Structure 1
Amino acid sequence: MNKQEKLALVESALEDFYGNQQFASSLREAVLYSIHAGGKRIRPYLLLEVLDSLQVPITQEHAQVAAALEMIHTGSLIHDDLPAMDNDDFRRGRLTNHKVYGEALAILAGDALFLDPYALIAQANLPSQTKVDLISNLSLASGSMGMVAGQVLDMEGEGQQLSLEELQTIHANKTGKLLAFPFQAAGIIAGLDENLQRQLKTVGELIGLAFQVRDDVLDVTASFEEIGKTPQKDLQAEKSTYPALLGLDQAIAFCNQTLDQANAKLEEISQVVSFDKEPIVKIVESLRING
């Protein structure tokens, strides 16, 4: 199954969940506006690709778990763009949700995308314990011990000179945990032991860190057309970023070094379990800057 086929399964899972919803049609429209905004779908794709690398045949149930993850990520983008947060007019190359539907409906669309995923996983035809583990870990990655906490720390850090350790703590939660979840979830679905699940999760955490450093670099070097959102927003908000803290060249080097660590961990895993690391390495390499 190639990338397009995997992502088509995810799109199908999203459409099946919202397609026949009859209540609050304006809410459905706002939700689907952001879901259909596109993006790379890197989180759901990673989940299905890691399963494939573990030689687990991809099913619609796996696509439902991947879709649930994408729903939470999309909801976070809606809220992140609100005037009370990053106050951005564009996301993925078009107007942000609140610019089209107003702040109140955008907030509620984000709320729906935070809550609906758990129903989607619960409905999946997977073993009960697998679903419990997936729901538990997705909640921990998303809520007050993960992404939401990271967003709070990020806002509190505006206008301050943070240390590298403080910056990494923010992004380990704000960005890293939702990028680590696909690896952890694949381990859960594949029935791997806890040690291998932790090793896979570490790969995701390293990719999440590199992803954030790369995002910070692009914020100061890329155009609107390249990133699909307003550039230099972090600079205007006086946020601590990796280029601001390390300098642009060192931030790029740090990103690439982190990706090297992810590749090394993938090699370790491939030595102890049947795991085709090459497709994941290809994704890792796609994040490399000037590489």
Structure 2
Amino acid sequence: MAVEAHHLRVLAPQFIPNSRELGKATENSSAMLGDVQTRFFMSNPLSCQVAPLVYNPVVTAAPSESSLTVAVSAGKKRTRESVSFLGEDLSSLFQNQMAELDRVLADHTERMRTEHSERRRRFSRQLAAVVEDGVRKRLQAKEQEIERVKKLNWALEERIRTLFVENQIWRELAQTNEATANLLRTNLEQVLAAQVSFKDEQRQGCDVDAGAGDAESCCCGEKDDRKTVALAITPQRACRCCGQKEATVLLLACRHLCLCAGCAPATHSCPVCNCNKSGSVFINLS
């Protein structure tokens, strides 16, 4: 039995790109290959009947003791045999055509690699632009939110300052009203104490004059009653305007108890200190 090994080396290894690039290049270069083949066969109408490009002869192994015969190719590099047809040498033509095909494939592969790199760079730039635009929009939104929070904080601070001032005003007003109430309470207590002491003195005077009053007439009795009422109105408690009635009206804001009920509405200033009257309080001493 004889086994023959044929080695058909159409393209040199250094001109063959990797399978992925060759697959991409083949799809886009079919038209160019068609042009090359068309030009080749148009220039050589009989080339379709040419034998294979490279043919390696078979080396038959030396007979051995066994009945098996193996054909082994030579390990050394051998020169290509020339291909001739009708007396014409076509080896150089085939080599030129294959070199041109290799050059076309290499150029197309390089162009595809360049285009792919450019497309990748363009995609990277677009992606960076999209990311940058998104980040810019988010930063603008954050800045607007910060401005809104600043304005809100400023408004709250102004409100706090206003409330603090109002609190101070109300506190001072409360202290003033408390002082006024204390003064009125003190004046009222003094008036009540003076009234009680006057009643005690009047009671004691009535007891002393009880025996002498029996011999007098009724007219004398009425005269004594007028004297008693006149004595009841002391100069300190008499109205500073008319001087006849008892002072029962307290003027504000000077807090002087110096007018009677009849003179108070017609008086616009205190007769003691000449301060403008802002109000009056009637005090019932009975």
TM over 0.5: no
Short-chain TM bin: under 0.3
Q: What TM-score do you get using the length of structure 2 for normalisation?
A: 0.18
* Structure that is richer in helix per residue: 1
* Structure that is richer in strand per residue: 2
Larger RCO: 1 or 2 (CA < 8 Å, sep 6+): 1
Higher Cα Rg: structure 1 or 2? 2
Q: What TM-score do you get using the length of structure 1 for normalisation?
A: 0.18
